[in-house]
């Protein structure tokens, strides 16, 4: 994912996290983007990322975010 795509994904997620959880979500995403850019992002990172992000999301936004993350993960796995 390029820098512009990362920023769009970050904005998308931040609009869907619980009030007051934005900084934590941004920190998690920024760390994952750094690992992607370095080429060190792994399946294990995905397995840690998903439950953390689920705990930060607004419950009513979970299904929408899961669909987008699934698409993103599929794109990442094809690289």
Residue 11: inside a domain, yes or no? yes
Residue 79: inside a domain, yes or no? no
Judged against a pLDDT cut of 90, whether residue 66 lies above it is answered with: no
Residue 48: inside a domain, yes or no? yes
Task: Please give the average per-residue pLDDT across 16-22, as a whole number.
Answer: 97
Residue 35: inside a domain, yes or no? yes
pLDDT at 18: 97
Q: What share of the chain is helix, strand, coil (3-state, %, to 5)?
A: 80, 5, 20
Judged against a pLDDT cut of 60, whether residue 25 lies above it is answered with: yes
Task: Please give the average per-residue pLDDT across 17-25, as a whole number.
Answer: 97
**Tokens describing residue 69:** 């993350």
Residue 78: inside a domain, yes or no? no
* Whether pTM exceeds 0.85: no
Task: Please give the average per-residue pLDDT across 5-31, as a whole number.
Answer: 94
Three-state secondary structure along 62-74? HHHHHHHHHHHHH
The C-alpha atoms of residue 79 and residue 64 are separated, in whole angstroms, by: 24
Judged against a pLDDT cut of 50, whether residue 52 lies above it is answered with: yes
């Amino acid at each position: 994912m390029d820098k512009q795509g990362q920023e769009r994904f970050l904005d998308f997620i931040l609009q869907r996290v619980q009030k007051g959880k934005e900084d934590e979500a941004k920190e998690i995403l920024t760390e994952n983007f750094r690992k992607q850019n370095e080429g060190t992002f792994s399946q294990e990172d995905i397995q840690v990322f998903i439950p953390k992000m689920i705990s930060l999301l607004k419950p009513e936004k979970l299904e929408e975010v899961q669909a987008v993350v699934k698409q993103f993960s599929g794109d990442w796995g094809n690289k």
